[in-house]
C-alpha cells in the first residue's frame, strides 16, 4: 500500500513545483526548494517500491520499512494541507481587512496598520510551525532512503509491473468427475458456439467470451467445451493459456507448436504471424485463449488477422474476468458465468473432503459439511479449497470449528484464493489500488452507495485535485467493477446512474482487508468496552452500539465512521488528521470542530435533534462534502458558509421547512450537488450553474422563479418540483428548466405547459395535491381565501392531460392522485387528426405507464377502428407494463389502443371495482378484449 500512498503525495506535490502555483503558496523561505527536494526523494524511493512490496508480503522487516514510508507519505500529505489551508486563511483575512470601513480616515489607517502587524505576526508563527514540520519530514525520508541503501538494496522497477503471486498455467486436461453444476452452462455455451446466427455471418470465425469472477469456473467450462469438440474430430483444437502480460510471440509459438509447425529460433513477431497465417489456411480450428487480461488490442489485432485465414466456421473461445476484454477481443457473444448451487458446492466439497474416508465417518460429517458448503457462496474454487482443507481434519469438532470460524481468515484459504484476486489487483494503477483497498472499511454485505464512495475517495485524496474528480472516480469505479471487485448492482431509476448501489463479495472484502492489514478497522462496540488503541490504524468504523461506551481515540485516524453510537463532546479535541467524519446521535457539534482543518467529508445526517452548525464549520476550508440529510431540527447553514469555496456536495434532503440559506450561499459556485432548495431567495441559485444530478425545489409562497435561471443548469438530470398552494400554479409557468432534462417529478394540481417542450425527458411522474405528504383537507380550506370555493374547485380546475405522446424519449410515466382529472382523451396521445398519411409514432419509447388514485377519472377515450387499422400510426410500441391503481370510477379500458400497443405483457388492475366486474374472469363480458395480454393481474390490495 505504500506505493499507492507515495504516488498520491507525489501527485499532490507536482503542481506546487509549477511556477504559476509557487508564487501563490510560498509560505516558507525557499518553499519551492523544499517542495522540489521532497518530490525528488519520493520519486527515487518510488522506483524500488514494486520490489519492496513484493518482498514485504513475507519479510516482516521490509513490511516495517514500508509502514514507516507510508507514515511519512501521510505526514507530507498533512503538510501540503497545512500549506493550502494557510494560504486560504491568509487570502480571507486580507480580503476581510480590505473591505473594512471607518468614518475617520486617520482612525482607519491606524486600525489597518495594527491589524496588518497582528496578521503578519500570526502568519509568521504559523509558517515557522510548518517549516519545522517539513524539516522533520526531510530527516525521516533521508533515514528511510539510507536504510534501503544499507540493508535492503531493492531493485528499481521503473515502468514495470511486479506481482507477488503468479497463477499456474491452465491446460486442456481435467477430471470430469470433479465438475458439478455446469451441465446447463455447457449446453448453452455449445449452442452459442455453433449457432448460425451471428453478427459476423454464419461463415465467419466466431469469437465467444466466458466472463466471470476469479474462482467461478471459467477455465473448467472451457475445458468441458474443448473436450467435447476435440472428440468430434471435426476441428483442429488448440489451447493457449494467455495470462498476463499478453505475450504475442508466446501465443503464436504455442499455437504453432500444437499445429506441429516449425519456426525459427528467436523469431520476430511478424515472422511468426506470417507462418501462422499460412499454417491455419485451409484448416477449421477451435482455439481456446484462456485467462486473457489485456484491454489493449495492439497485439491481438495482428494475431486475429493471421487467424482469419482459417476455414470459415472456425471458433475462438476466450475466458476473462473483464467484460471490456471481451469487447476488445471482438466477441460475437459474451457468456456471463454465474455461481453454482449450494448442492453443487456440496458435491464438489464432499468429493475432495471425503476421499478415502469410511462411509460411517462421511455420514457423521455430512450435515456440518453441507452447512460449510453454503459458505462457499456458489464459487467452485472456494468449494475445492475448503474441501482440501477439510480433508485433513478428521473429527466432527474440527469441522464444527471451521463452520463457526471466520473461515476466510484461514491461511490455507488465503493461499489459494487471494492469488487470483492479486492478479487483478496488481494490474491497477496505484490510485485505483487505494480506492479498492479503502472499501475494507465497509462491513460485509453492506450496500455501498457508489456516489458516496466516490466522495470518500475524494476526501482521502485518491483522485486528482481537479474539476473532474467525480468523473475520474466514476471511471475508477467502472474499472474496478469490470474486474469483478463489486457485484449485486442496483440501478438508481430516477437518473439511471450506471451503478448506484453495489456490494462486495465476501472473498473480495476479505482480500481488501488482507491488503490493508490493520489500517482499516471495523469494530463492534459493546457497552462499557474500551477500544484498544492501534497506532497503525488509519480508518475506523464503529458499527455496534450500546448507550454507554468508553472511547480511546486514535489521533492518526483519517476516517472515522460512528453512525450508531453516541459520541462524547471531547471527540473534537482529537482526530487532528481526520479527512472523513461520519457521525450519528449528535445533540450538538462543539465549536472545536473548526480545528480539524484536514476534513473534506463531514456527514452528520439523520441527527434529528441537531439544531445548528457552529460557525467554526466555516473554517474547514478543504470541505468538499457536507451531509445533513434528515436533520429535521436544523435551523439552517452558518452565516460564513461562503468561505467554503471547495464545497462540491451539499446533501440536504429531508431537512425542515424553515431551513435557512444565509446570504453568501450564492457564492458556492463549485457546488455540484444540492439535494433540495426550499427558500424564497431563488436568486441564490442564479450562478450555481455546475449543479448536476437531482434537484428538488419547494415553492411555498410567491417567488420570482426567473431569478434562479434554471435553463442554464445544463448538467441537471432530474428536477423535482413541489407546489404546495394552488394559487401558485401560474408561477410555475415562469420556470424554464434546462431543455436536456431527463427526469421530472411534479407535485401539484396540474402539469405545467412547458413539460411537453422537454424533448429529452425519459421519466415523468405527476402527483396530485393530497398524495403522500399533502394535507388535501387543509388545501381545500385555504381555497376560501383565494376565490373558488371548495364546492366548485374541481370544476374550476378540471383539465386535460397535455400531449405527452409527443415526447420522443419518454420511457416511464406515472400519474397519481389527480383529483381534477376526469377524462383522458386523444389530446394525451398528441393525435390531432383522426387519420394520418405519414408515419406517426405516439409514445415511441414508453415502457411503463401507471395511473393511480384518480378517483374522478371516468373515461379513457379509445382510438377509432380506422386508427387501429391504420399501419401509418404506431401507438406505444414499446409499452411493457400498464398499471391502473384505485381508479374507482373508471368503467372501461381503451381496447383498440391496448391492441395497438403490441409489446404490452403485463396489465395490473388494483382496487378498480368497475374494471373488475367487466374483465376479471374469462366469463366476464369483455375478457376477450384484453385476453391477448399475456399476464393480467387483478388485486384488491
The grid cell for 149 is 541503501
The pLDDT of residue 843 is above 90: yes
| Pair 368, 239 in one domain | no
In angstroms, rounded to a whole number, what is the distance separating the alpha carbons of residues 157 and 135? 29
pLDDT recorded at residue 205: 83
Question: Pick the residue with more confidence: 121 or 563?
Answer: 563
388 pLDDT band (50/70/90 cuts)? confident
CA distance 799 to 726: 14
Residue 619, C-alpha cell as written in the block:
473554517
Burial class of residue 809, CB neighbours in 10 A (0-12, 13-18, 19+): middle
| For range 446-453, the mean pLDDT | 91
Question: Are 41 and 114 members of one domain?
Answer: yes
Q: Give the mean pLDDT of 799-824.
A: 90
d(CA 6, CA 48) in angstroms, rounded, equals 12
| Stronger pLDDT, 294 or 767, i.e. the higher one | 767
Q: Where are the alpha helices (DSSP H) in 337-463?
A: 342-353, 359-374, 380-391, 396-404, 411-426, 430-438, 450-459
Residue 800 CB burial class (10 angstroms; 0-12, 13-18, ≥19): middle
CA 47, CA 33: separation in Å to the nearest integer? Answer: 22
- pLDDT of 262 over the 80 cut: yes
257 and 404 belong to one structural domain: no
Whether residues 88 and 218 fall in one domain:
no
Among the residue ranges 425-439, 489-503, 686-700, 746-760, the one predicted with the least confidence is 489-503
The CA distance from 251 to 658, in Å, is: 68
Residues 6+ apart with CB under 8 A from 728: 699, 701, 702
Say how far residue 831 (Cα) sits from the centre of its chain: 41
Q: 245 preceded by cis ω (within 30°)? A: yes
Residues 194, 211 share a domain: yes
pLDDT digits (tens, 9 = 90+) for 704-723: 888 999 999 999 999 998 88
The lowest-confidence range among 192-201, 246-255, 361-370, 897-906 is 192-201
Domain assignment present for residue 766? The answer is no
Q: How confident is the model at residue 700 (pLDDT cuts 50, 70, 90)?
A: confident
Q: In terms of domains, do 293 and 226 share one?
A: yes
Structural domains in the chain (count): 5
764-803 pLDDT per residue, tens:
999 986 554 333 333 343 333 333 434 444 444 556 789 9
- What number of other Cβ atoms are within 10 A of residue 11's Cβ? 17
Residue 490, strand partner residues: 501
Kindly report whether the global pTM for this prediction surpasses the value 0.85: no
According to the model, what pLDDT value does residue 285 have?
Answer: 92
pLDDT, residue 532, reads 47
Final residue of a structural domain among 310, 336, 362: 336
Do residues 511 and 521 both lie within one domain? no
773 by Cβ neighbours in 10 Å (0-12 / 13-18 / 19+) ranks as exposed
Tens of pLDDT, residues 911-923? 999 998 888 766 6
Domain stops at, among 304, 336, 368: 336
Helix ranges (DSSP H) in 18-59: 19-25, 31-46, 49-56
Count the neighbouring beta carbons within 10 Å of the beta carbon of residue 658.
Answer: 11
Q: Work out the pLDDT band at 31, boundaries 50, 70, 90.
A: low
Q: CATH code at 45?
A: 1.20.120
User: Which pLDDT tens digit goes with each residue over 579-617?
Assistant: 999 998 888 898 999 999 999 999 999 988 899 999 999
Give the pLDDT band (50/70/90) at residue 845: very high
Question: Is residue 11 one of the residues assigned to a domain?
Answer: yes
Last residue of a domain, one of 94, 117, 152: 152
Q: Per the domain annotation, does 282 fall within a domain?
A: yes
Do residue 243 and residue 387 come from a single domain? no
Region 326-340: what's the mean pLDDT? 87
Q: Rounded CA gap, 141 and 4, in Å?
A: 17
**pLDDT level of residue 939 (50, 70, 90 thresholds):** confident
Q: Given the DSSP bridges, would you call strands 625-627 and 601-603 parallel, antiparallel or unpaired?
A: parallel
Please tell me the predicted confidence (pLDDT) of residue 772: 43
Return the CATH number at 389: 1.10.8
pLDDT of residue 879: 95
Q: Report the alpha-carbon distance of residue 383 to residue 373 in Å, rounded.
A: 7
What range defines the domain where residue 486 resides? 441-515
In a domain, 927, yes or no: no
Short-list 859, 861, 852, 854, CA closest to 831: 861
Residue 375 neighbours by CB under 8 Å, 6+ apart? 386, 403, 407
DSSP symbol at 622: T
Helix (H) or strand (E) segment spanning residue 602: strand 601-603
If we measure between CA atoms, which residue out of 248, 241, 239 comes closest to residue 296?
248
How far, CA to CA in Å, does 144 sit from each of 39, 60, 258?
Answer: 14, 16, 51
Secondary structure letter of residue 731 according to DSSP: H
DSSP assignment string, 65-129: HHHHHHHHHHHHHHHHHHHHHHHHHHHHHHHHHHT---SSHHHHHHHHHHHHHHHHHHHHHHHHH
DSSP string, 391-413: HT--SHHHHHHHHHS-GGGSHHH
Residues 258 and 331 in one domain: yes
Does 928 fall in a domain?
Answer: no
Does residue 321 share a domain with residue 277?
A: yes
Give 752's contacts (C-beta < 8 A, 6+ positions apart): 732, 733, 735, 746
For residue 236, CA distances in Å to 282, 311, 313 come to 11, 11, 12
- C-alpha cell, 369: 459439511
Give the range among 87-101, 728-742, 927-941 with minimum mean pLDDT.
Answer: 87-101
Inform me whether the pLDDT recorded for 637 exceeds 90. yes
Q: What are the tens digits of pLDDT across the range 410-423?
A: 565 555 567 656 65
pLDDT-derived band at 504, boundaries 50, 70, 90: confident
Q: Are 243 and 325 in contact (CB under 8 A)?
A: no
Q: How many CB atoms lie within 10 A of CB 153?
A: 9
Q: What is the mean pLDDT of the chain?
A: 79
CA distance 502 to 487: 6
- Cα separation, 723 vs 775, in Å, equals 13
**Which uninterrupted H or E stretch holds 460?**
none
What does the pLDDT look like over 454-473, one tens digit per residue?
Answer: 999 999 988 876 778 999 99
Radius of gyration, CA atoms only, the chain: 33
Residue 23 in domain: yes
Is 200's pLDDT higher than 50?
A: no
Q: What is the mean pLDDT of residues 63-91?
A: 79
DSSP-derived 3-state class of residue 227: helix
Q: Do residues 446 and 503 touch, judged by C-beta distance below 8 A?
A: yes
Collect contacts of 633-637 with beta carbons under 8 A, ≥24 apart.
Answer: 633/608, 633/609, 634/610, 634/659, 635/611, 635/659, 635/660, 636/612, 636/660, 636/661, 636/662, 637/613, 637/661, 637/662, 637/665
Determine what percent of the chain is predicted with pLDDT higher than 70. 76
Phi, psi dihedral angles at 537 (to 5 degrees): -75, 135
Contact 630, 653 (CB under 8 A): yes
Cell representation of residue 276: 501462422
| Burial (CB count <10 Å: 0-12, 13-18, 19+), residue 570 | exposed
Q: Is 218 inside any structural domain?
A: yes
pLDDT in tens, 268-281: 889 999 999 999 99
> Which backbone phi and psi does 767 adopt, to 5 degrees?
-120, 135
The CA angle 95-98-104, to the nearest 5 degrees, is 155
Q: Predicted confidence band at 555 (pLDDT cuts at 50, 70, 90)?
A: confident
pLDDT band of residue 35 (cuts 50, 70, 90) is low
- Say yes or no: 140 and 284 in one domain: no
pLDDT per residue over 591-600, tens digit each? 999 999 999 9
pLDDT tens column, 561-573 = 988 777 777 778 8
Complete DSSP assignment for 856-890 = T--EEPPPPHHHHH-TTEEE-TT--EEEEES-TT-
Q: Is 279 in the same domain as 391?
A: no
Q: Is residue 633 part of a domain?
A: no
Q: How far is CA 15 from CA 19, 212, 466, in A?
A: 9, 40, 11
Confidence at residue 4, expressed as pLDDT on a 0 to 100 scale: 62
Rounded to an integer, the average pLDDT of 289-306 is 86
Cα dist from 800 to 516, 699, 804, 827, whole Å: 61, 23, 11, 8
Amino acid at each position: 500500500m505504500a506505493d499507492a500512498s507515495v504516488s498520491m503525495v507525489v501527485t499532490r506535490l507536482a503542481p506546487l513545483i509549477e511556477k504559476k502555483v509557487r508564487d501563490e503558496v510560498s509560505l516558507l523561505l525557499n518553499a519551492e526548494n523544499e517542495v522540489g527536494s521532497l518530490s525528488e526523494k519520493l520519486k527515487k524511493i518510488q522506483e524500488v517500491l514494486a520490489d519492496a512490496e513484493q518482498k514485504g508480503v513475507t519479510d516482516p522487516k521490509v513490511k516495517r520499512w514500508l509502514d514507516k514510508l507510508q507514515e511519512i507519505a501521510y505526514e507530507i500529505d498533512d503538510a501540503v494541507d497545512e500549506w493550502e489551508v494557510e494560504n486560504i486563511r491568509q487570502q480571507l483575512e486580507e480580503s476581510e481587512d480590505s473591505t473594512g470601513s471607518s468614518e475617520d480616515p486617520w482612525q482607519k489607517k491606524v486600525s489597518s496598520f495594527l491589524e496588518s502587524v497582528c496578521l503578519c505576526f500570526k502568519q509568521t508563527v504559523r509558517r515557522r510551525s510548518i517549516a519545522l514540520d517539513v524539516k522533520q519530514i526531510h530527516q525521516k525520508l533521508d533515514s528511510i532512503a539510507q536504510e534501503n541503501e544499507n540493508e535492503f538494496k531493492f531493485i528499481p522497477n521503473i515502468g514495470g509491473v511486479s506481482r507477488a503471486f503468479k497463477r499456474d498455467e491452465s491446460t486442456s486436461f481435467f477430471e470430469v468427475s470433479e465438475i458439478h453444476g455446469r451441465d446447463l452452462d455447457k449446453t448453452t455455451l455449445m449452442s452459442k458456439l455453433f449457432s448460425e446466427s451471428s453478427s459476423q455471418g454464419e461463415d465467419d470465425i466466431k469469437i465467444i467470451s466466458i466472463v466471470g469472477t476469479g474462482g467461478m469456473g471459467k477455465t473448467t467450462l472451457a475445458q468441458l467445451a474443448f473436450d467435447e469438440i476435440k472428440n468430434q474430430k471435426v476441428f483442429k483444437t488448440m489451447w493457449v493459456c494467455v495470462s498476463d502480460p499478453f505475450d504475442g510471440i508466446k501465443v503464436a509459438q504455442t499455437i504453432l507448436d500444437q499445429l506441429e509447425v516449425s519456426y525459427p529460433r528467436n523469431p520476430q513477431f511478424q515472422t511468426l504471424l506470417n507462418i501462422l497465417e499460412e499454417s491455419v489456411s485451409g484448416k477449421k480450428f477451435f482455439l481456446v485463449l484462456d485467462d486473457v487480461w489485456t484491454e489493449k488490442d495492439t497485439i491481438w489485432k495482428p494475431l486475429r488477422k493471421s487467424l482469419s485465414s482459417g476455414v470459415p466456421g472456425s471458433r475462438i473461445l476466450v475466458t476473462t474476468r473483464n467484460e471490456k476484454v471481451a469487447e476488445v477481443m471482438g466477441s460475437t457473444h459474451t457468456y456471463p458465468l454465474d455461481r453454482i448451487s449450494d448442492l453443487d458446492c456440496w458435491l464438489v466439497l464432499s468429493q475432495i473432503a471425503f476421499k478415502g474416508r469410511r462411509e460411517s465417518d462421511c455420514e457423521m460429517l455430512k450435515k456440518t459439511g453441507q452447512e460449510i458448503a453454503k459458505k462457499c457462496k456458489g464459487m467452485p474454487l472456494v468449494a475445492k479449497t475448503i474441501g482440501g482443507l477439510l480433508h485433513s481434519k478428521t473429527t466432527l469438532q474440527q469441522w464444527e470449528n471451521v463452520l463457526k470460524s471466520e473461515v476466510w481468515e484461514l491461511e490455507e484459504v488465503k493461499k489459494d484464493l487471494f492469488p487470483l484476486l492479486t492478479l487483478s489487483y496488481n494490474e491497477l494503477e496505484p490510485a485505483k489500488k487505494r480506492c479498492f483497498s479503502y472499501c475494507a472499511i465497509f462491513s460485509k454485505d453492506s450496500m455501498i452507495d457508489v456516489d458516496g464512495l466516490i466522495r470518500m475517495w475524494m476526501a482521502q485524496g485518491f483522485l486528482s485535485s481537479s474539476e473532474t474528480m467525480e468523473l475520474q472516480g466514476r471511471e475508477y469505479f467502472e474499472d474496478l467493477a469490470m474486474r469483478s471487485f463489486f457485484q449485486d448492482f442496483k440501478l438508481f431509476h430516477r437518473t439511471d446512474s450506471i451503478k448506484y448501489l453495489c456490494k462486495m463479495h465476501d472473498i473480495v472484502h476479505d482480500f481488501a482487508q488482507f491488503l490493508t492489514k490493520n489500517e482499516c478497522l471495523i469494530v463492534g462496540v459493546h457497552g462499557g468496552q474500551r477500544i484498544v488503541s492501534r497506532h497503525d490504524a488509519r480508518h475506523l468504523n464503529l458499527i455496534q452500539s450500546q448507550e454507554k461506551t468508553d472511547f480511546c481515540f486514535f489521533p492518526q485516524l483519517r476516517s472515522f465512521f460512528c453512525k450508531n453510537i453516541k459520541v462524547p463532546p471531547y471527540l473534537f479535541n482529537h482526530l487532528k488528521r481526520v479527512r472523513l467524519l461520519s457521525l450519528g446521535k449528535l445533540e450538538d457539534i462543539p465549536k472545536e470542530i473548526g480545528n480539524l482543518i484536514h476534513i473534506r467529508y463531514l456527514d452528520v445526517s439523520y441527527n434529528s435533534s441537531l439544531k445548528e452548525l457552529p460557525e467554526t464549520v466555516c473554517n474547514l476550508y478543504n470541505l468538499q462534502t457536507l451531509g445533513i440529510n434528515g436533520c429535521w431540527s436544523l435551523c439552517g447553514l452558518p452565516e460564513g458558509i461562503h468561505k467554503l469555496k471547495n464545497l462540491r456536495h451539499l446533501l440536504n434532503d429531508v431537512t425542515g421547512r424553515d431551513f435557512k440559506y444565509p446570504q453568501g450561499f450564492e457564492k458556492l459556485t463549485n457546488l455540484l450537488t444540492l439535494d433540495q432548495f426550499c427558500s424564497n431567495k431563488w436568486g441564490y441559485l442564479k450562478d450555481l450553474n455546475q449543479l448536476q444530478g437531482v434537484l428538488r425545489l419547494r415553492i411555498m409562497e410567491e417567488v420570482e422563479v426567473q431569478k434562479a435561471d434554471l435553463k442554464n443548469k445544463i448538467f441537471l438530470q432530474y428536477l423535482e418540483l413541489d407546489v404546495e398552494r394552488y394559487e401558485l400554479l401560474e408561477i410555475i409557468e415562469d420556470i424554464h428548466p434546462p431543455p436536456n432534462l431527463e427526469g421530472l417529478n411534479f407535485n401539484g394540481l396540474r402539469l405545467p405547459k412547458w413539460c411537453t417542450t422537454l424533448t429529452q425527458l425519459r421519466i415523468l411522474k405527476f402527483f396530485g395535491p393530497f398524495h403522500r405528504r399533502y394535507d388535501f383537507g387543509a388545501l381545500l380550506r385555504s381555497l376560501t381565501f383565494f376565490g373558488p370555493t371548495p364546492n366548485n374547485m374541481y370544476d374550476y380546475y378540471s383539465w386535460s392531460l397535455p400531449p405527452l405522446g409527443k415526447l420522443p424519449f419518454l420511457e416511464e410515466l406515472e400519474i397519481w392522485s389527480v383529483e381534477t382529472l376526469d377524462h383522458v382523451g386523444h389530446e394525451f396521445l398528441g393525435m390531432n387528426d383522426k387519420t394520418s398519411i405519414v408515419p406517426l409514432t405516439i409514445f415511441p419509447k414508453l415502457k411503463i405507464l401507471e395511473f393511480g388514485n384518480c378517483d374522478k377519472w371516468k373515461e379513457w377515450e379509445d382510438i377509432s377502428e380506422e386508427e387501429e387499422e391504420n399501419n401509418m400510426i404506431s401507438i406505444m410500441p414499446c409499452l411493457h407494463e400498464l398499471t391502473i391503481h384505485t381508479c374507482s370510477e373508471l368503467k372501461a379500458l381503451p381496447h383498440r389502443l391496448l391492441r395497438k400497443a403490441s409489446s404490452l405483457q403485463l396489465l395490473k388492475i388494483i382496487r378498480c371495482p368497475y374494471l373488475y366486474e367487466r374483465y376479471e374472469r374469462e366469463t366476464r363480458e369483455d375478457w376477450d378484449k384484453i385476453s391477448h395480454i399475456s399476464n393480467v393481474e387483478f388485486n384488491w390490495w
